Amino acid sequence: MMRQYELVDRVRRYNPHVNEDLLNRAYVYAMKAHGSQKRASGDPYFTHPLEVAAILTDMRLDDATIVAAVLHDTIEDTSATREEIEKLFGSEIANLVDGLTKIAKLDLVSKRAEQAENFRKLLLAVVDDVRVLLVKLADRLHNMRTLNFVSAEKSKRIAQETLDIYAPLAGRMGMQSVRIELEDLSFRTLMPEAHAMIVARLNDLQRRNGESIRKVEVELSGELAARGIPAEVGGREKAPYSIWRKMERKSIAFEQLSDIFGFRVIVNTVDECYRVIGFVHTKWPVVPGRFKDYISNPKQNDYRSIHTTVIGPGRQRVELQVRTRGMDDVADYGIAAHALYKDGRAGEFDSLTRESRSYQWLRHTIDLLSEGDSPEEFLEHTKLEMFHDQVFCFTPKGRLIALPRGATPIDFAYAVHTDVGNRAVGAKINGRIGPLLSELQNGDEVDIVTSAGQVPPPAWESLVVTGKARAAIRRASRDAVRTQYAELGKQIISRAFVRAGKEYDDQKLKAVLPRLARNSVEDVLAAVGRGEMFSGDVVKSIHPEFVAARTAGAVAQKGEKGWFGLKKAASLVFKVPSDKAHESEAIPIRGLGGDLPVRFAPVGGAVPGDRIVGILTPQEGITIYPIQSPALMTFDDQPERWLDVRWDIDESDNRLYPARIQVSAINEPGTLGLIATVIGENGSNIDHVEFITRSSDVRDVILDIEVRDLKHLTSILTQLKSKSVVSKVERVNG
């Protein structure tokens, strides 16, 4: 177990101004708090927070973070309290420890919803102070290193969560050394045979190619030194999990991989980076398409380097990464590298991290939390953005937009701004109009064409690849549906007030929201539109003396049967107008796809010219029935669901409406063709055909067709009746 002086010495190596007293007090406090607690390995529990602190000293983090690591399990696992820690160590450290305590349940690796909710807690704690994430990643790293001491089932669950969440999150924070080790440890636990196979292959390859690798290192170092470029040249080996993932993704064998070994060149300045590339490309042939400049275009996680592949000594493919020492620190430690002390001063951490791209990504991810997504949606969206490689595109004004590989102009539009995405109707890619579903390539200039009245189609959600776009489209779809229901609800309520002889007013409704158990006027309107609340109850909440005419309707319906009785009942309850003076009280129906959530009776539909009744169906809006429909009997005892509706059709409107007909015809060749010809020649569509055999000579043909109006339907029925093979034609209403 690491001693007090050893912990202080580790920090002093990179911070000569270490607060030795603070570290010593934290060490003693945590050791006493954990007392005789043991880990699954049998070691004293206190060894764990010390190892977490040691990992963070390798990242050269500040005193407060190291102390938080030492104390990170005290509130969760001992009798220590936040107040006590704040009193002894200050509010900064207390906040860090408290942030880690709130997310401790993540280690339980529980159900998906709980895991997702705790992931939200993690990021919410991180946004206040990103050092919470650094301690959490170090905590997970040490737990993964000691995973062999827990049960096989639990170790696999923890390894899978690490692979799904922590490793990619470390990668997005630029902490590649942590990501690689987390991936390797998870890979070894989840697929031990595959891991062992790849490690064995790598060892064999190292034995066979070790001399060639050293030769390239020596030759490249010598050539650069001769040109006055001081550089460190070292070979690097692709990690086992990266090899496995590439083999799986490209369906290739280990022997087909050409980038298992590569070389890293570390220089002092950016200018020297480009000088190295100039020399390398002059001396050896370049492999086309393998040059990537992440210095001028850094990755989203702040990674900066130049990548190239050449045909080097011995006609071997040599993959090179060229970067400065500072870039190398960021490549290894990512956002943690911003905590490096400058001129021996602390206090730089917060301002530096907030300027980093990885922190900006984190802030963007946190923004999704405020958009009302469920925990599962949030976790899904975040995973999408963590796992994808990137392409870089530009706006017409030159703004750089980083997107996941496979992104479309729709993703680009939402990356620019949510409003741009919601209003997008087209795109120009490099000056040419292209489909909104085009896959964007590196360097594309994208100009989004927008329209003020556009609403994103729900189908877009399955076509985009970024979490932000999916969340925004889903949200816009929900808002559009809610707006439809609110509009319908407002019309229903307004007409209810007219029937009651009262005047509707939003302010009056706002004053009685507590009585209706709703938070806003729009909530009430949407609830009425969805059929969750009766309009008469809204009237009564404002005018308690009002009594809805539900009883009269029920009596009338009980007194008379059949569609005539229904018509009378509807008139009693809803004042179905028989003259034009009352038409303004009825809700106008324009058909499907309008402003209101409307559907037609599932059996037989309804067409303009029919006398119609609307039935308010919860979560579905209005269902339109012809007044003669027998299905209306179902709603005899629910008069509050009946709505007064009327057609509002423009004469120039050529849209079609659903109707069902039944044709009794002689069963002989050509009969169905004749029926279909009559329907087709009249400009009608056939949606569905069903046959009923009455005898060997006669069949009933039931057809769902689409017509313009009642006159159009009557014309088709008349022409069918005139055919010699047809014995009977009638319209069917369910």
Cite the active site residues. 76-77
Given the structure tokens 């949510």, which residue do they identify? 418
Number of H helices, E strands in the chain: 30, 20
Element (H, E) at 614: strand 612-617
Query: By C-alpha distance, which of 288, 234, 287 is closest to 265?
Result: 234
Helix (H, G, I), strand (E, B) or coil at 151: coil
Query: By C-alpha distance, which of 7, 63, 14 is closest to 329?
Result: 14
For residue 588, give both structure tokens.
């106008």
Given the structure tokens 């050394």, which residue do they identify? 177
Element (H, E) at 660: strand 657-666
For 72-134, the DSSP string reads TTHHHHSS--HHHHHHHH-HHHHHHHHHHHHTGGGGG---HHHHHHHHHHHHHHHHH-THHHH
CB 408 within 8 A of CB 460: no
Angstrom CA distances, 586 to 222, 566, 645, stand at 89, 17, 5
Helix (H, G, I), strand (E, B) or coil at 411: helix
Angstrom CA distances, 423 to 416, 451, 453, 457, stand at 12, 5, 7, 11
Residue count of the chain, please give it.
734
How far is the C-alpha of 274 from the C-alpha of 217, rounded, in Å?
19
| 61 contact partners, CB below 8 Å, separation of at least 6 | 131, 134, 336, 339
How far is the C-alpha of 534 from the C-alpha of 527, rounded, in Å?
9
How far is the C-alpha of 401 from the C-alpha of 407, rounded, in Å?
11
Alpha helices in 424-519, H assignment, sequence order: 467-499, 506-511, 513-516
Element (H, E) at 715: helix 710-721
Sign of CA dihedral 303, 307, 313, 317: positive
Helix (H, G, I), strand (E, B) or coil at 351: helix
Alpha helices in 240-319, H assignment, sequence order: 240-250, 270-283
CB 147 within 8 A of CB 158: yes
